[in-house]
Structure 1
């Protein structure tokens, strides 16, 4: 059962699986989060080959430079910090070290040492009244958030909400007439299109890198973060620690995603949250401080010949599967919406709503689009017969993945 145990629970959306793998907890993946800021001194000397004080009208400015000039003023640096006790557990925690990277400490009132953890990430302004979007992991647990604009102005930031399922967070600063970004369309992106990233890698503010869209629709399990509910954009535009929360742009300078994760053991493998997902979650966070995610309560798995054979030969399951393709329910969570709606282990999911589905990711997507408390029809194949199950998704239970 080793193969099957490795496959179960890799998709979340409608799952209820214990034990989450955070971006920073994966050996192969890390989030481009905080690193201690270093100071860099300029060395270039203006020459005829390196002209200065020339207007854009005097030279052929390409679309990358145009996009950077358009969006750069709306990209911010986010510095977050918090205190933790310097207990042996915290001092050994690699996630804390990798996220904040702080090395200062002080004594608390009871003489127990405390550490100040610091992290630096990126974000971008979506409202001239000071509304910002970033990654949840950039500000997770932060007691103090400072937002610095490209022009050097700095403001204290208030985190209005975070969503760990999509890694989206929103911040508000007290400012007016701020520059803002424009949203593009991530749904219709194609591999090979230009991709421009702007952020603050390693503390180097407003760094611009360029590449292409390498792939679309990467599942959270493919990216190595099965506890997320996102289909990621893959890009080879250089993304480094500190880029987290910064925008990924198209050639028109429109935001198409939020730079979120990188492959630690490779180059040219970066991942971004599509802007449609980020904007949908951000609107909920601004409105009510949290994002609700529809929940059914089933474990499911994508079938192939190997999985089919393992399930049918195992005594762990009391059903047999004739098909070797599709999505099969292997467990129904007691008292969940799925249990109340009549789901059974062995059900093959054919449609969610009116949309045909062939993978667990597609099931997750359709459930995400449903409304909590509203009836959702799911077509399943059971014992060779089609059945329509009517289920009412609830909000995802808190602590389900803790």
Structure 2
């Protein structure tokens, strides 16, 4: 059973979705949320994906004047149902343009769509490394197909790891049919700003109107990974930190694919009560000649940190490795025979197959 719902592409397409821009009636008298929305809204688009009789809408973020738009893989693949969905993009002025999928990355649930359109306004990207609990968080997008919707709240957790279904589609750039049945672990920013189906791929903003995250999932009470029902906001939403999204976006634009680090080991959550240390991911086995093997990790080691991420369980370790590029060298800290050790590890390349 999964409580994370990434089925956030609302039903309907751009042809049947009523368009409403973000309206600022009195620009001379605004509060911080209004000012942030006014700044960012020209850079937010609504994305329609369709394949056969299936269709859905999500949101996206304009990255540059060349028309590259950042969104979620599950938006452009209709939650993994369509390998080559037809894409339409409605910009903030209400005009609709055909889009092409530049690349999808199911391991981060990020994708790049490109359009050709005049006057595009690139979003201002912030620094998600500076995000802290209690910061203002503002979401703009098309929840339930309602474009130009602005909600606000706070960052309720700055470092959270969730495990959710992969949205790779059979025969797509993303991978194979087996990918769609798997799951991914990703690091996210948690917010209580209202996020609903259709917000996916849109921005989470700070009070300066800068993008700090890409909205990706909502917590769903009682939902299952096999359920087709879309539940709404219950006050817990998740966004991919923009610092992580920047790297993936650059790689997708450059080559149509993104890389992710791999350790080359199998892990299990450390059993509580086995020592004075109570958190970490215990190494069950190390693959010969893998990154972990070359770094000297052994079965029984308990990994507690990877790069800048603390590790308390196996999902956090997987997410920490995946947010790094393949070939990156980072520091890994681990416990062996009651002693704390650290060493550099040069990560291998993860695959979606």
Q: TM-score, normalised by structure 2?
A: 0.78
Asked if 2 retains the 8 angstrom alpha-carbon contact of 1:28 and 1:224, the reply is no
Q: Does 1:398 align with 2:347?
A: no
Q: Distance in 1 between matches of 2:189 and 2:58?
A: 19
Unaligned runs of 5+ in 2: 78-82, 167-181, 222-232
Residue by residue over 1:131-187, the C-alpha shift from the partner in whole angstroms, topping out at 9 and shown as x without a partner, is 110011101224310011121211111111111111111111112331221011221
Match of 2:312 among 347, 356, 359: 359
Q: Contact 1:80–1:142 at 8 Å: present in 2 too?
A: no
The 5 Å alignment of 1:305-320 reads 305-306=272-273, 308=274
Pick aligned residue for 1:72 from 41, 53, 63: 41
Aligned to 1:188: 130
Q: Give the CA deviation at 1:302.
A: 4.1
Cα deviations by residue, 1:323-375 (Å, 9 ceiling, x for unpaired): 5444321122456433455433112336657x795534665566457664466
Counterpart secondary structure, 2:11: coil
Aligned-CA RMSD value:
3.2
Taking the aligned partners of 1:74 and 1:295, their CA distance within structure 2 comes to 34
Q: Residues 271 and 325 of structure 1: is their aligned pair in 2 closer, same or farther, counting only changes over 3 Å?
A: closer
- Secondary structure of the residue that 1:231 maps to in structure 2? strand
Measured in 2, the distance between the counterparts of 1:70 and 1:162 equals 28
**Out of 31, 36, 43, which is 2:12 matched to?**
36
Distance 1:254 1:382, change over 3 A: closer
Cα separation, 2, equivalents of 1:356 and 1:183: 22
Equivalent-residue separation in structure 2 for 1:66 and 1:385 (angstroms): 52
For residue 216 of structure 1, the aligned residue among 151, 158, 163 is: 158
Compare 253-262 and 212-221 and name the one that shifted more. 212-221
Query: Does the residue aligned with 1:305 lie in a helix, a strand or coil?
Result: coil
CA contact 2:89–2:97 (8 Å) conserved in 1: yes
1:127 matched residue in structure 2: 64
Contact 1:347 1:381 in 2 (8 A): yes
Q: Does 1:63 align with 2:32?
A: yes
Q: Give the direction of change, closer, same or farther, for the CA distance of 1:82–1:365 in structure 2 (3 Å limit).
A: closer
Structure 1 or 2: more strand by fraction: 2
User: Compared with structure 1, are the counterparts of its residues 190 and 300 closer, same or farther at alpha carbon in structure 2 (3 Å cutoff)?
Assistant: same
Deviates more, 1:383-392 or 1:154-163: 383-392
Larger helix percent: 1
Query: Aligned pair in 2 of structure 1 residues 327, 193: CA closer, same or farther (>3 Å)?
Result: same
Pick closer, same or farther for the CA change 1:137–1:359 going to 2, 3 Å. Answer: same
Distance in 1 (CA, whole Å) between partners of 2:204 and 2:96 is 23
Q: Which runs of no fewer than 5 residues in structure 1 stay unpaired?
A: 1-25, 43-51, 84-115, 309-320
CA distance in 2, matches of 1:338, 1:331: 10
Contact persistence 1:236–1:269 (CA under 8 A): yes
Tell me the CA shift for residue 393 of structure 1: 2.5
How many residues were matched structurally? 316
In structure 1, what is the Cα distance between the partners aligned to 2:34 and 2:344? 52
Q: Which whole-Å CA distance do the structure 1 matches of 2:268 and 2:86 have between them?
A: 42
